[in-house]
C-alpha cells in the first residue's frame, strides 16, 4: 500500500515537473523557418540571447539599486530573448504559411493572446501573447506583420507580473502604464 502511494506520489511529482519543463520549452517559439526569407529581404534581423548571456548582462546591474535590482532578478531567471525579422521592398514576399507557422504556436494551449491590433487600411497586424502557468508568465511572443514585414519577438522564462509592474519607468515601459494580466494592458488615466 505504502509502496503504491509512493509510486503515485512520485508519478505525480514527475508529471508536475514535466509540465513545468514543457511550459518552459513551449514558450520558446520555433522561428527558424524565417531564415529562408533572409536572402530576398532588404532588411533582416536575427537576435539570440540565451540565459547564460542574460546572466552575464545581469552582472552589470547593481542589486543595491532599487530599479536595477528588479531587472537583475528578472534577467537571472530569463531563459532567452529571440528576435527574427525580415522586411521586403515589395509586398507579398512571404506566405501566409510563414505567419501561420508562428501563429499556430501562439494559439497552442498555454498561450493567451493579450493584444491584437489589425489595421485593414495598411494591413499591419500586431499580436502579443503570453504563456501563462499558475499566474506566472513563462514566455512572451510578439508577432508583427505587414504586407512587407514579418517580425517575431520571443522572451522565454518565468516573468513575475509583480516584477514587471515594478519595472514601470524602466526598459521603455511608461511610468503610468498599468499592467493587467487578466487580458489587457492600458495606460492609467
Partner 1 sequence: MTQLQKMFRVMFVAAMMLALLTPVADAQTAFTPKGKGFNDVVKYIEKNYSAKKTKIPMLGLAKFAIWMVRPAGVKGFKLAVFEDQNFIKRADTISFSQAMRQSFKKDWSPLVQFSSKRDGASHTFIYVKQTKKDVEFAVATLGESEAVVVQAKFNPDAAAKFLENPKIMGISLGNSIRGNNTIATNRPPKPNAPASTPAAASDDSSKRVVIKDGNSDADTAPVQPTSRAVLTTNDENNPPLPAAENASAAKTTEASKPVEVKTPPREDTLRIETRLVNLNVKALDKSGKPITNLKPEDFAVFEDGTKQEVAHFKPVNAPVNLILLLDLSGSTQKKRKGMIEAANRFIDSLPAGDKISIVAFTRQYKPLTDFTADKVALKTAVKKINKIGGGTAFYDSAWKALDQLGQLSEARKAIVVLTDGEDESLISDRESAHNFDDLIGRASEEDVTIYPIYFSPNSHLNKIGILFGGSGGGLLGGESKSKTARKQLEQLAELTGGEIFSAQREEELETAYKLVANELHTLYSLAYSPDKLKHDGQFRKINVKLTRDGAVAKTRRGYFDR
User: What residues make contact with partner 1 under the rule CB under 8 A?
Assistant: 38, 41-50, 52-53, 56-57, 59-62, 65, 67-68, 71, 75, 81, 83, 85, 87, 151, 153, 155, 169-175
Nearer to partner 1, 48 or 118 (CB): 48
Nearer to partner 1, 7 or 48 (CB): 48
Helix, strand counts (H, E) of the chain: 5, 8
At its nearest, how many Å lie between partner 1 and the CB of residue 175? Answer: 7
Asked if residue 114 lies in contact with residue 130, where contact means CB atoms within 8 angstroms, the answer is: yes
Is the sign of the CA dihedral 170, 50, 148, 146 positive or negative? Answer: negative
At its nearest, how many Å lie between partner 1 and the CB of residue 86? Answer: 10
At its nearest, how many Å lie between partner 1 and the CB of residue 40? Answer: 10
Candidates 114, 138, 118; CA nearest to 126 is 118
Give the angle 110-129-49 at the CA atoms, nearest 5°.
95
At its nearest, how many Å lie between partner 1 and the CB of residue 44? Answer: 5
Nearer to partner 1, 13 or 42 (CB): 42
Nearer to partner 1, 61 or 130 (CB): 61
Q: Which three cell numbers stand for residue 114?
A: 493579450
Asked if residue 61 lies in contact with residue 68, where contact means CB atoms within 8 angstroms, the answer is: yes
Residue 130 to residue 143: CA distance in whole angstroms: 12
At its nearest, how many Å lie between partner 1 and the CB of residue 60? Answer: 5
Nearer to partner 1, 36 or 59 (CB): 59
Residue 158 to residue 136: CA distance in whole angstroms: 6
Amino acid at each position: 500500500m505504502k509502496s503504491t502511494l509512493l509510486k503515485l506520489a512520485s508519478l505525480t511529482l514527475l508529471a508536475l515537473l514535466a509540465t513545468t519543463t514543457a511550459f518552459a520549452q513551449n514558450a520558446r517559439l520555433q522561428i527558424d523557418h524565417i531564415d529562408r526569407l533572409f536572402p530576398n529581404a532588404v532588411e533582416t534581423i536575427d537576435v539570440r540571447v540565451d540565459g547564460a548571456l542574460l546572466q552575464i548582462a545581469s552582472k552589470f546591474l547593481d542589486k543595491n539599486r532599487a530599479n536595477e535590482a528588479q531587472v537583475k532578478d528578472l534577467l537571472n531567471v530569463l531563459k532567452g530573448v529571440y528576435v527574427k525579422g525580415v522586411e521586403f521592398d515589395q509586398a507579398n514576399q512571404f506566405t501566409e504559411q510563414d505567419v501561420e507557422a508562428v501563429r499556430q504556436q501562439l494559439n497552442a494551449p498555454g498561450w493567451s493572446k493579450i493584444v491584437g491590433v489589425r489595421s485593414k487600411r495598411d494591413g499591419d497586424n500586431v499580436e502579443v501573447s503570453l504563456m501563462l502557468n499558475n499566474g506566472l508568465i513563462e514566455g512572451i511572443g510578439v508577432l508583427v506583420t505587414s504586407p512587407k514585414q514579418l517580425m517575431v519577438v520571443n522572451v522565454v522564462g518565468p516573468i513575475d507580473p509583480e516584477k514587471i509592474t515594478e519595472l514601470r519607468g524602466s526598459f521603455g515601459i511608461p511610468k503610468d502604464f498599468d499592467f493587467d494580466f487578466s487580458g489587457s494592458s492600458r495606460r492609467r488615466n
